[in-house]
Structure 1
Amino acid sequence: MNKPATGSATPPPSRNIKAIVHQNLARRRAAERRFRGYGLVAITLGLAFVVLMFGNIISKGLPAFWQTYIQVPITFDSTVLDPQGARDPQALANADYATLVRAGMRQLFPHVEGRLPLRALGGLISSDAAYELQRRIQDQPELLGSTQEVWLLASAAVDTFFKGNIDRTLPEAERPIKDNQIEWLDKLKTSGKIEKQFNAVLFQSGDSREPEQAGIRGALMGSFFTLLVTFLLSFPIGVATAVYLEEFAPKNRWTDIIEVNINNLAAVPSIVFGLLGLAVFINFFGLPRSAPLVGGLVLSLMTLPVIIIAGRAALTSVPPSIREAALGMGASKLQMVGHHVLPLAMPGMLTGSIIGMARALGESAPLLMIGMVAFIVDVPKNFLDPATVLPVQIYLWSDLPERAFVERTSAAIMVLLAFMILMNGLAILLRKRFERRW
C-alpha cells in the first residue's frame, strides 16, 4: 500500500505572496489617504469657523468707526453764555449751551412749532453737543458773539437709521425714528448737512450710557496701567525664579514639590486667582477695589507660572558646552549664568513673557472678582484710580440691547484682537531675530 505523504505543507507560489504584499500596500496607502483627508477636512472646518467668526465681528464692528454728524448753525450768543460780559471761565463753563443747540435746530427748521415736535427735533442731536460747544468756547473764547457752522454728533437713533439698521417702512410705533424726524433727516441729507465722519469719540472718550458717546479710551488706559503693573512684577520675579530653579537650586524633594506646584498653577482657572486677589489684596491689605494696581497684582499671579516655565525651557535650550566653556575659563557659576547663559536664554524668556502678557490682556474673569466691572466714565490717570479693562468693557457692552452698542462691542473686540495679534507677532519677531540654532 502507498503511504500518504508527510511533512510541511507546500509553500504558496511567489505570485500569491506578491499579491498579498500589493494588497496590504494598497490598504495602507488608502488608510494614509483617508488620514490626510481627515486632516484637510479638520483644517478646512477650523479655517471656515475662524473666517466666519472674524467676518461676523468685522461686519458688525466696522460701522462703529464711523459716526453720523449734523451741521448746525450755532450763534454763540453773549447774552446766554456771558451775560455779565466778564469772560469769566467759570461762568462760561456753566452756561446753558443746550439753548444754543435748540436755537440752531430751529433755525434749520423754522416752521416746526409745538412742544412735542420741538422735542423730536432736538432728539436728532446727541446730548454731547452741548459739551462740544462748551469745549469750543473754553478753547476759543473769541467765538463769543459769532455764528459758526458746527458739525454736532447725531443721536444714536439717527446714526442707526443712516447705517441702514432701521427700516423706514415699518409702522411708526415700531421704530425709534418717527415720520416727521425721517422727513427732517431727508431734507438735511439733501442739503448736505448730514454726513458720516470718522468716530474719534470711540478713542477719545470713556464709557457712557449713551451709545454715540461711549468710547474705549478709559478701558485702554486701564488695560495699559494694569499690564504695566503685571509686567513690572511678573517678568523680573519669573526670570529670577526660573534661573534659580534651573541653575542654582539643589535637586531634592522640596524643589520637586515647587516645580510640581508651578506646573499645576499654570493650569488653574483664572477666576481662582481673582478670588485669591479679592481675599488677599482687597479684604486683607485693604487696597482700593477696581484699581489697576490690584488688577496688575492679580494678573501677575496668573502669568508668573507661564513665565517661569518658559524661562526654564529657554535656559534648558542653552547647550551645556556654553556652561562648561565659561567654567573652564575660570568664571564663577554666577558669572557663567549672568554673562553667558542668561543672555542666550533671554529671547526665549521674552517670548514667553509676551505670550503670558497677551493672555493677561484678554482676561476678564479674575478682574470681575476684584470689582473692575464697575461703570467707569472718567479716564484713569494713575494706578489707583477706578478703572476697567478692554475685555470687561466688551463684556459690559455685550449685555446692552441697543444696536449701537452691538457695533461698539464688535469694534472693541477688533481693537483687542489687534493688540493681541501685535503682541504675538512681536513674540515671533523676537524669537526669529535672536534665536540661535545649535
Structure 2
Amino acid sequence: MNLKFNEGLNRRYRAERNFQRMGIAAILIALTFLAFLFISIVSKGYTAFQQTYVQLDVEFDPGYFQNENLAAADYPGLVKASLRNMFPEVNDRKEKRRLYGLASNSAAFTLFDMVKENPNIIGTRQQVWVLADDDVDMLVKGHYDRDLPESDRRVKDNQVGWIDSLEENGRLKKKFNTTFFTSGDSREPEQAGIWGAARGSFYTLLLTLALSFPIGVAAAIYLEEFAPNNVWTDLIEININNLAAVPSIIFGLLGLAIFINFWGMPRSTPIVGGLVLTLMTLPTIIIAARASLKSVPPSIREAALGIGASKIQMVTHHVLPLALPGMLTGTIIGMAQALGETAPLLMIGMVAFIVDVPGSFTDPSTVLPVQIFLWADSPERAFTEKTSAAIMILLGFLILMNGAAVYLRKKFEIKW
C-alpha cells in the first residue's frame, strides 16, 4: 500500500515539475521573441537620431538679391553656386544635377533664415552647415552597398567620389537629428519629423481623457451604487462588456457616419479623433472603475451611512477616494490603448499627408501610429529608419504610461 502511495505521489510531483518547466519555457520563448522584436526595431531605427550635414562656403552675392523682398532671392542658386565652386571640374549638365543633389532642398530655406535673421551677411562669405540629401545620408550611414554595380545604386559613382572628397576635407559629418523631433511630415525623408504627429496625438488624447474619464467614472458610480437591479441595468452592463470587445475599426466607422457625415465636423482633426477614441475607451474605463468600486469593503459604506451621511456623501467622501487609484490605473491603460490605435483614425481621414504642425483641436493633423503607417508605406530607404525610430518613440510613451499605471497601483493600493 505504501509503495503504491509513494509511486502516485512521485508521479504527481513529476507532473508538477514538468508543468513548471513548461511554464518557464513558455516565458523564455515569449521573452526571446520580444527581445528579437526590440533588437530588430532598435537596430533599424537608432541611426535616424543622427543626420548627415554638408558644409558649404556660401558667397551671398548681392546679385542674387535684386529685390528688396528677401524671400524672393534665388537661394537655391546660392546653394548650386557653392557646390560648383567646391567642384569646379564638373561641367556636364547631367553631372551638375547629380552634384546639386548632394544637398537637401531645405538648404535654400536654411540660407533664407540666415539672411532674414541678419541681412548684413549679404555680400559676405559664410560657412554654412546644411542638410545632406537622404541618399547621401544613407550612404554615409552604410545603408547603401558601395560594392553594387552603379546601375543598382541610387548614388552614382561620381557622387560617391564627391562624398568621399567632402569627408576627407571635413565638410561632411553626422549631427544629432533635431529635425526629426521638431518638424512635421515631408515628402523628403531628411526633412520629415514626428513633431506634427506628436502634437496631433497630444490633442487627441487630451480630448479623449477630458471626455472619457468623467463620463466613465460617473457611469460606473451610477451602475455600481445607485442603479436598481432590473432587466434594463443588466442589459446596459451586458452591452458595456460587449462594447469592450468590439473591433476598434467599428468605432471609426461610427465616427465617420455620425461625427463627419451627419454632424458635418471637419475630417482629419483631433476633435473628431478624440470623440472616436472616447467612444472606444469608455467601456474599458467603466469596467475598471466598477471593479475599483467593488473592491471597497461594504463596511466603509455601512459606517458612513451609520453616522448619518447621505448616500451621495457616502460615495463622494468615502468610497470614491478609496476607489480612485484603481480608476486612474484603468484610465491610463485605456489612454495607452488609445495612443496606439490606428484603424479608427484611418476611417475619419487622419491618414492624410499633413505637413503643418497642428496648433489646435480643429487643425488637420495625424497621430503617431498613423504617421508610422504612412512612413512604412514609403519606398525610400531613409523612411525605413524613420519608421523604426518612430516606433521606438511610440513604444517609449506606451512603456511610460503602463509604468505609471503600475506605479499608481502599487503606491495607492489598499489591501483590506
Match of 1:69 in 2: 53
Alignment coverage as a number of residue pairs: 416
Match of 2:190 in 1: 212
Aligned mates of 1:200, 1:405 — CA distance in 2: 16
Match status 1:276 vs 2:260:
no
Match of 1:114 in 2: 92
Cα drift, residue 148 of structure 1: 1.4
Equivalent of residue 190 in structure 1, options 134, 144, 168 = 168
Match status 1:49 vs 2:33:
yes
Match of 2:8 in 1: 24
Give deviations 1:58-113, integer Å, cap 9, x for gaps.
000101111111011112223213x25x4xxxx11232110110111122112221
Letter of the structure 1 residue corresponding to residue 55 of structure 2: Q
Match status 1:364 vs 2:342:
yes
Give deviations 1:268-314, integer Å, cap 9, x for gaps.
00000000000000010000011110000000000000000011111
Aligned mates of 2:87, 2:244 — CA distance in 1: 64
Match status 1:149 vs 2:133:
no
Cα drift, residue 419 of structure 1: 0.5
Aligned mates of 2:384, 2:314 — CA distance in 1: 56
Aligned mates of 1:237, 1:380 — CA distance in 2: 27
SS of the residue 2:375 aligns to: helix
Match of 2:269 in 1: 291
Matches of residues 95-244 of structure 1 in structure 2 within 5 Å?
95-244=73-222
SS of the residue 2:55 aligns to: strand
Aligned mates of 2:78, 2:309 — CA distance in 1: 78
Aligned mates of 1:127, 1:44 — CA distance in 2: 49
Once the two structures are overlaid, the 10-residue window that deviates more, 324-333 or 60-69, is 324-333
Cα drift, residue 121 of structure 1: 0.8
Letter of the structure 2 residue corresponding to residue 220 of structure 1: A
Letter of the structure 2 residue corresponding to residue 277 of structure 1: G
Once the two structures are overlaid, the 10-residue window that deviates more, 339-348 or 52-61, is 339-348
Match of 1:437 in 2: 415
SS of the residue 1:338 aligns to: helix
SS of the residue 1:69 aligns to: strand
Cα drift, residue 146 of structure 1: 2.0
Cα drift, residue 402 of structure 1: 1.4
Match of 1:5 in 2: none
Identity %: 62
Match status 1:259 vs 2:243:
no
Cα drift, residue 257 of structure 1: 0.6
Aligned mates of 1:140, 1:321 — CA distance in 2: 73
Aligned mates of 1:313, 1:285 — CA distance in 2: 35
Match of 1:339 in 2: 317
Match of 1:349 in 2: 327
Cα drift, residue 177 of structure 1: 0.9
Match status 1:315 vs 2:299:
no
Aligned mates of 2:172, 2:110 — CA distance in 1: 17
Match of 1:6 in 2: none
Equivalent of residue 34 in structure 1, options 18, 22, 29 = 18
Letter of the structure 1 residue corresponding to residue 61 of structure 2: D
Displaced runs of 4+ in structure 1, greater than 4 A?
none
Letter of the structure 2 residue corresponding to residue 20 of structure 1: K
Equivalent of residue 44 in structure 2, options 32, 51, 60 = 60
Aligned mates of 1:46, 1:22 — CA distance in 2: 36
Aligned mates of 1:276, 1:309 — CA distance in 2: 21
Q: Which runs of 5+ in 1 are unaligned?
A: 1-16
Letter of the structure 2 residue corresponding to residue 402 of structure 1: E
Q: Which runs of 5+ in 2 are unaligned?
A: none
Match of 1:249 in 2: 227
Match of 2:352 in 1: 374
Cα drift, residue 143 of structure 1: 2.3
SS of the residue 1:152 aligns to: strand
Aligned mates of 2:71, 2:227 — CA distance in 1: 64
Aligned mates of 1:157, 1:279 — CA distance in 2: 43
Letter of the structure 2 residue corresponding to residue 137 of structure 1: V
Cα drift, residue 140 of structure 1: 2.5
Give deviations 1:151-171, integer Å, cap 9, x for gaps.
110111101101111111211
SS of the residue 1:68 aligns to: strand
Aligned mates of 1:251, 1:21 — CA distance in 2: 52
SS of the residue 1:74 aligns to: strand
Aligned-CA RMSD value: 1.0
Give deviations 1:320-347, integer Å, cap 9, x for gaps.
1111111111111111111111111111
